[in-house]
Amino acid sequence: KQLTSYRAWLQYQPILNQDYISDIKAQFSKISVADENEIISSCITELSVALKEMVGFTPVVDYQHTHKVGLHLTINKALPEEAYQLNESQKVLRLSGGSSRALLYGTFHLLRLIQRQAQLSDLNITEQPKNPVRMINHWDDMDGSVERGYAGRSFFYEDYQFIQDRQRIQDYARLLSSVGINALTINNVNVHQKETELITDTYLKEVSQTSDIFNQYGITMYLSINYAAPIEIGGLNTADPLDEGVKRFWQDTVANVYQAVPRLGGFLVKADSENRPGPFTYGRNHAEGANMLAEAIKPFGGKVIWRCFVYDCKQDWRDRKTDRARAAYDHFMPLDGQFADNVILQIKNGPMDFQVREPVSPLIGGLAKTNQFLEFQIAQEYLGQQRHLVYLIPQWKEVLEFDTYAKGEGTKVKDVVSGEVFNNKVAGIVAVSNVGRDYNWTGHTFAQLNLYGYGRLIWNPDLTAEEIALEWIEQTFGLNKSVVDAIGAMVMPSWQAYENYTSPLGIGWMVNVNHHYGPNIDGYEYMAWGTYHFADRDGLGVDRTIKSGTGYIGQYHEANSKYYEELESCPDELLLFFHHVPYTYQLKSGKTVIQHIYDTHFKGVEQVEAMIKIWNEVSEHIDEQRHHDVKARLEHQLWSAKEWRDIINTYFYRKSGIADQHNRTIY
Ligand code: GCW
What gap in Å lies between CA 431 and CA 346, rounded to an integer? 10
Cα(22) to ligand 1 centroid in Å equals 51
**For ligand 1, mutation pick of 192, 353, 385 (most atoms within 8 Å of CB):** 353
Would you say the CB of residue 138 lies under 6 angstroms from ligand 1? no
> 485-521: string of b/e by CB count within 10 Å (b at 16+)?
ebbeebbbebbbbbbbbbbbbbbbbbbeeeebbbbeb
Cα(489) to ligand 1 centroid in Å equals 32
3-state class (DSSP) for residue 376: strand
Q: Domain 133-463 has what CATH class? A: alpha beta
Cα(140) to ligand 1 centroid in Å equals 12
> Taking CA 665 as the corner, what is the angle to CA 660 and CA 667, rounded to the nearest 5 degrees?
95
- Between the two ends of the chain, the Cα-to-Cα distance in Å is 52
Tens-place pLDDT, residues 284-331: 999 999 999 999 999 999 999 999 999 999 999 999 999 999 999 999
**For ligand 1, mutation pick of 309, 377, 517 (most atoms within 8 Å of CB):** 309
Across the range 563-583, mean pLDDT stands at 98
Ligand 1 atom nearest residue 148's Cα: 10
Would you say the CB of residue 347 lies under 6 angstroms from ligand 1? no
What is the rounded average pLDDT for all residues in the chain?
Answer: 97
Strand partners, 74: 96
Cα(270) to ligand 1 centroid in Å equals 10
Residues of the chain within CATH 3.20.20.80 domain(s) are: 133-463
Q: Atom 13 (ligand 1): residue with closest C-alpha? A: 309
Cα(657) to ligand 1 centroid in Å equals 37
What dihedral angle (degrees, nearest 10) is formed by the CA atoms of 198, 204, 210, 213?
150
Across the range 369-374, mean pLDDT stands at 98
Tens-place pLDDT, residues 91-135: 889 999 999 999 999 999 999 999 999 999 889 999 999 999 999
Query: Residues 323, 358, 375, 381: which is the catalytic one?
Result: 381
Across the range 11-36, mean pLDDT stands at 92
Look at phi and psi of residue 643 and say left if phi exceeds 0, alpha if psi is from -120 to 50, else beta.
alpha
Kindly write down the DSSP assignment for every residue of 615-628, as one continuous string. HHHTGGGS-HHHHH
Residues of the chain within CATH 3.30.379.10 domain(s) are: 5-127
3-state class (DSSP) for residue 263: coil
What gap in Å lies between CA 126 and CA 86, rounded to an integer? 7
Across the range 229-252, mean pLDDT stands at 98
Mark out the alpha helices in 555-592 (DSSP H runs): 558-565, 575-578
Active site residue 381: yes
Residues of the chain within CATH 3.90.1330.10 domain(s) are: 499-542+580-656
Kindly write down the DSSP assignment for every residue of 113-173, as one continuous string. HHHTT---TT-EEEE--S-SEEEEE--B-TTS-BTT--SSS-SSEETTEE-S--HHHHHHH
**For ligand 1, mutation pick of 147, 274, 511 (most atoms within 8 Å of CB):** 274
pLDDT at 485: 98
Instruction: Give the phi and the psi of residue 224 in degrees, each rounded to 5.
Output: -85, 135
Cα(314) to ligand 1 centroid in Å equals 15
Would you say the CB of residue 270 lies under 6 angstroms from ligand 1? yes
Q: Domain 499-542+580-656 has what CATH class? A: alpha beta
Query: Residues 252, 274, 316, 536: which is the catalytic one?
Result: 274
Choose among 437, 442, 436, 473: nearest CA to 456.
473
Would you say the CB of residue 148 lies under 6 angstroms from ligand 1? yes
Q: E strand or H helix at 629, and its extent?
A: helix 624-656
pLDDT of residue 410 exceeding 90, the answer is yes
Q: Atom 2 (ligand 1): residue with closest C-alpha? A: 353
What gap in Å lies between CA 139 and CA 149, rounded to an integer? 8
Across the range 153-177, mean pLDDT stands at 98
What gap in Å lies between CA 566 and CA 564, rounded to an integer? 6
Cα(148) to ligand 1 centroid in Å equals 8
Ligand 1 atom nearest residue 353's Cα: 1
Would you say the CB of residue 209 lies under 6 angstroms from ligand 1? no
Across the range 182-187, mean pLDDT stands at 98
Q: Atom 12 (ligand 1): residue with closest C-alpha? A: 353
Across the range 41-65, mean pLDDT stands at 92
pLDDT at 29: 87
Ligand 1 atom nearest residue 375's Cα: 13
What gap in Å lies between CA 346 and CA 270, rounded to an integer? 10
Given pLDDT bands bounded at 50, 70 and 90, which one contains residue 553?
A: very high
Choose among 420, 603, 379: nearest CA to 498.
603
Integer CA distances (angstroms), 579 to 331, 539, 546, 599, in order: 24, 10, 11, 21
Would you say the CB of residue 139 lies under 6 angstroms from ligand 1? yes
**For ligand 1, mutation pick of 190, 382, 514 (most atoms within 8 Å of CB):** 190
Express as a percent the part of the chain with pLDDT over 70. 100
What gap in Å lies between CA 507 and CA 651, rounded to an integer? 15
Across the range 160-188, mean pLDDT stands at 98
Would you say the CB of residue 145 lies under 6 angstroms from ligand 1? no
Cα(416) to ligand 1 centroid in Å equals 24
pLDDT of residue 68 exceeding 80, the answer is no
Would you say the CB of residue 517 lies under 6 angstroms from ligand 1? no
What gap in Å lies between CA 26 and CA 440, rounded to an integer? 34
What gap in Å lies between CA 505 and CA 541, rounded to an integer? 9
**For ligand 1, mutation pick of 137, 139, 310 (most atoms within 8 Å of CB):** 139
pLDDT of residue 434 exceeding 70, the answer is yes
Query: Residues 197, 206, 353, 543: which is the catalytic one?
Result: 353
Cα(231) to ligand 1 centroid in Å equals 24
Q: Say if strands 161-162 and 157-158 run parallel, antiparallel, or are unpaired.
A: antiparallel
pLDDT at 2: 66
pLDDT of residue 1 exceeding 60, the answer is no
Question: Would you tell me how many other CB atoms lie within 10 Å of the CB of residue 110?
Answer: 25
What gap in Å lies between CA 345 and CA 307, rounded to an integer? 6
Cα(488) to ligand 1 centroid in Å equals 31
Would you say the CB of residue 309 lies under 6 angstroms from ligand 1? yes
Tens-place pLDDT, residues 532-549: 999 999 999 999 999 999
What gap in Å lies between CA 379 and CA 432, rounded to an integer? 6
Active site residue 353: yes
Across the range 18-46, mean pLDDT stands at 93
Question: Would you tell me how many other CB atoms lie within 10 Å of the CB of residue 1?
Answer: 5
Ligand 1 atom nearest residue 189's Cα: 8
CATH of domain 5-127: 3.30.379.10
Cα(68) to ligand 1 centroid in Å equals 55
pLDDT of residue 65 exceeding 80, the answer is no
Would you say the CB of residue 353 lies under 6 angstroms from ligand 1? yes
Integer CA distances (angstroms), 560 to 309, 399, 604, in order: 22, 14, 30
Strand partners, 32: 62, 72
Q: How many residues does the chain have?
A: 667
Q: What is this model's ipTM?
A: 0.99
Contact 143, 157 (CB under 8 A): yes
Instruction: Give the phi and the psi of residue 437 in degrees, each rounded to 5.
Output: -80, 0
